Chains A and B, each alone.
Chain A
Amino acid sequence: MFAKVKCFGLSGIDGFKVMVETDVRSGLPGTELVGLPDTSIKEAKERVRSAIKNSGFSYASQHVTVNLAPADTKKEGSLFDLAIALAILCATEQIPLIPASDGTVFIGELSLDGYLRPVRGILPLLISAAAKGFKRFVIPSQNAAEAAFIRGADVFALDSLSEVISFLSAPQGYTPVPPREFSAAQQGRRFKEDFMYIKGQSFARRAMEIAAAGGHNILLIGPPGSGKTMLAKCLPSILPDMTAEEAMETTKIHSVAGLLPAGEGIVTTRPFRAPHHTASQISITGGGAKATPGEISLAHNGVLFLDELPEYTRQVLEVLRQPLENKSILISRASRAVHYPADFMLVSGMNPCPCGFQGSSVKQCGCTPAQINKYTAKLSGPLLDRIDMHIEAENVSYDDIKGAQSEGSDVIRARVNAARQLQSVRYAHTGITNNAGLDSELMEKHCALDEKSEMLIRKAFDKLGLSVRAYTRVLKVARTIADLAASESIQFAHVSEALSYRCLDRR
């Protein structure tokens, strides 16, 4: 006998429909799984067999063929288990056939005792399926929190194979997962790392505020102990609240990577990813056998923090260039190409020289000019081109530590949020969300300078030795400073402040 059950497979962060077809015929007992399954699907045979047996049914002592259609697309993951089990039970006439008109999609991994285990990527799967017109889903109950953010669909979160079977016979006894509304969890949240605990460093604090408000990439340069890492770690506490769309996008990626915090269901705070400098190229960009998302995609709508920037391998640094420009990455492999968004803010730290003490008042630097050149040459021009702000973090003195209480992150975040609000209104329908994303056309429109400011920039280029590429960077940062001051146009003071965040250009 023949039966089919609907399921969905995952490719990148997009789902595609998979029809699980099963045919049971007389012959040598055995199960065959076709349709380009990967190893985890091939092993489904054994899980399904035990799950069926332990749910009180019998496994066919006939020849079973399971086909995952379309047969020419590679499939991976354990999420087909439930659909395969149901298809086999239907085909062996142990449960009634699911009619072809029934649009229910079944997703879930089975444990040997018949319970449903959570799977990765539920949110992107359901979003794709809903977009293709599917309105009814059966998923593992542990994925319920994540699925609650789907609108316009009935999602049933069930515990076991036998529960699914009783649901099929009497669906009226079950209620779908109640939908939840997204709310930015940032409000009132306490952060372990808060700007309140950073003493002194007024320059760097202000720079971090601007970077957060405009989404600018920033490079912190300073001797060891100057608090570069601490500053970066405090950054999440002042990042603007996520919008619902941003949260969805980020959750999709984290869901695919299996990184969603248990019970939360959705990413509510901007991600902060800090891979160590031994990270491989693939781990940064994404890829591998399963084309999983890399650090740059996991940091989507959040921060990618690279401490000790010149210590990363040259390849790793260079692969960042294109995603920084395109805000997404296409991972192309022989069998397929997967597209992941990668709109992140790059925050990085480095020492001024290999020993770290150049220009320090604490310790003499013993590096030769050649060593310093070699060290800084690791950061190629094109990469530095994409970093809007570079600042020096200074050593903090004892007096600073004992000084008055610093401004807390809550206060700063309120200002950042206000500035972002202005930007999102201004850039509605332009495809960008913040000042860092400004292109030359939009810049002409929104970053006009008065004569006095234009003059200042001109003089600064001569006097401070700023490079030409610094020009657009300075304008973007000036725009953010103006936004923080709630000013419609860019004023003289905004430009002159923006000019102070280009310390690498001065060398």
Chain B
Amino acid sequence: MADSTTTIGYAGRLEDEPIITRLDAAVDWVRKNSLWPMPMGLACCAIELMSTAASRFDISRFGAEVMRFSPRQSDLMIVAGTVTYKMALSVKRIWDQMPDPKWCIAMGACASTGGMYRSYAVLQGVDKILPVDVYVSGCPPRPEALLDALIKLQEKISREPGLKNLKKVAAASAT
């Protein structure tokens, strides 16, 4: 417990002493705590996505509040809603415009599997056109479920061997 003689505040000791860690861990730590979502709001799930961002649930507690409407500035696509075949063309194009490294959350039944729309007009899951990291069930999912998905994604990112991937990319571009 803090008493009158304890200084509460930033641990000054950390500023003086070096912290030793793996580069991967440091990079992943930075990345996972600053995800910039691209809100791909296509149906009613987008309403829940908005309330996740609003004050009651407040997605900024997890560092993902910077919703960018430009794919070039974002690294997490949240596909919130029904992906029709016509819209799928745009979703794929926006995904391709996002710079690496990038992740994707399929929010709700429709984005995950086509949901109740067993129809000629609806893509049966957004994973048919782009890689999905986390699927969220629900129709629509509650904001807590989306936050849970975000935390799961952060856990996934923190396990990523980023440096190894970087070497792989460098090797691929060299050949």
Q: Do A and B interact with each other, yes or no?
A: no
